Structure 1
C-alpha cells in the first residue's frame, strides 16, 4: 500500500486523515498473465493502481483485429475510465501482459468519499487532468510524428517494454505493421 500512497502523493497531496479513509478501500489483487481486468461489452466497476507487472489497453475491431491504445507499467492508475464515468459498457479491454499485482478499488466506493473529502476530490480532478494531457499528447504523436519518432518515444517512456511483450503488440501501439516495425528498428541501428 505504501506504493499507492507515494503514487497518489505525486499527483496531489493526500493528508493523513484522508488517507485513513481511502486506504481500506483498496484490495491487493493478483492478475496472472492473460487475465482481463476489463472486457469490451461489460460495465466497469473498479480501477486499480498497478504495483508490479504490465497491462495493455486495447480495442478489437468487428473482424477481431486488436489495436493497442496504452501500456500500463507500475506504478500507475488504470481502469476502463469511460465505462466507469458513464456506467456504459466498456469499449476497451484491459489485459495483463505479465503476471501483475494491483491495488483495486470499487469506483462507487471511491466516488462516495469525494463530497466529504476535498483533498480526494482534488486528487481525482488532477488525475483526470493528467489523463487528458496524456490522451492529447498521444493523439498529436499519432498525427504529427513518423513511425520512427513514435518508436523512439515509446522506448524512452518504456525502456524495458521490448523485453516483455511480443513485437506485434508494439507495432499495434505505434499504428504500424510488424514488418514496418522491423524496418524502423533496422533503420535505427544502421549508421547514418
Structure 2
C-alpha cells in the first residue's frame, strides 16, 4: 500500500522540530481560537506553525466562495505551505485553526540557515513522500476505501475532525459521508473489516 505512511512525520524529524522550538526562546508562541485564520490566502508565508496542541487546516476559498480543505495538521506537526515557501510566493491557501490551538511560530528564514539545512532537506523529502502517498491514496482508492483507511489507520482523523471537515477533505457532502459511514458500519457488523 503506497500510502501507508500518509500523514505520518518521521519520529526523528518530529523530535528535531520539537528540540528546535524548545531551544529557541525567540520563537513566539501564540494561542489561536477555533476558526481563527493564521495565514490569509494571498499573504506571503513567513512562519511555519509548529503545533503544540490543537489542529490546523489549510484551505482554499475558490472563485464561487466555496471553502475546500487541502490538508489537516495535528499536534506535533509543522504546518508549512511548501510550494509557497520554496517559491517565496503569496499563499494560494489559508491556514486556520480547527479548534483552539497553541502554536510556535517558526521563522522560515531560520530554516534557511546553514546549521538547519539538513532539517530543511528532511522536511522537503518527507513532503515529497507525503505528496506521492496522498496522490496514490486519492487516485487509487474508492471513497469507501479512503474512509476505511482513515478509520483503521488514522483514527485521530475520524475521532478528531468534524464530519463536515472530513467530508470536505474526501470530496463528498456531509450527508454522503454519513450514509457511507452507516453503510460501512452495517457491512462491518456482518464481517470484521472493510
TM-score relative to the length of structure 2:
0.81
CA distance in 2, matches of 1:51, 1:38: 18
CA distance in 2, matches of 1:153, 1:13: 26
Name whichever of 96-105 and 26-35 sits farther off.
Answer: 26-35
Matched, 1:177 2:173: yes
- The answer for the alignment partner of 1:10 in structure 2 is 12
* Secondary structure of 2:155 counterpart: coil
The number of residues matched between the two structures is 178
* Secondary structure of 1:23 counterpart: coil
| C-alpha RMSD of matched pairs (Å) | 2.6
Q: Which runs of 5+ in 1 are unaligned?
A: 1-6
Deviation of residue 59 (structure 1)?
1.6
- The answer for the alignment partner of 2:140 in structure 1 is 144
Matched, 1:106 2:102: no
Deviation of residue 177 (structure 1)?
1.9
Alpha-carbon displacement from aligned partner over 1:15-63 (angstroms, at most 9, x marks no partner) = xxx9599624422111111111211111111112111001111122100
Matched, 1:41 2:37: no
Q: Which runs of 5+ in 2 are unaligned?
A: 1-8
Matches within 5 A, 1:75-114: 75-111=76-112, 113=113
Question: CA separation of 1:183/1:8 partners in 2, compared to 1, >3 Å: closer, same or farther?
Answer: closer
* Secondary structure of 1:98 counterpart: coil
Name the structure where helix makes up a greater proportion of residues: 1
Deviation of residue 166 (structure 1)?
2.8
Native 8 Å contact 2:167 2:174 kept in 1: yes
TM-score relative to the length of structure 1:
0.82
Native 8 Å contact 2:111 2:120 kept in 1: no
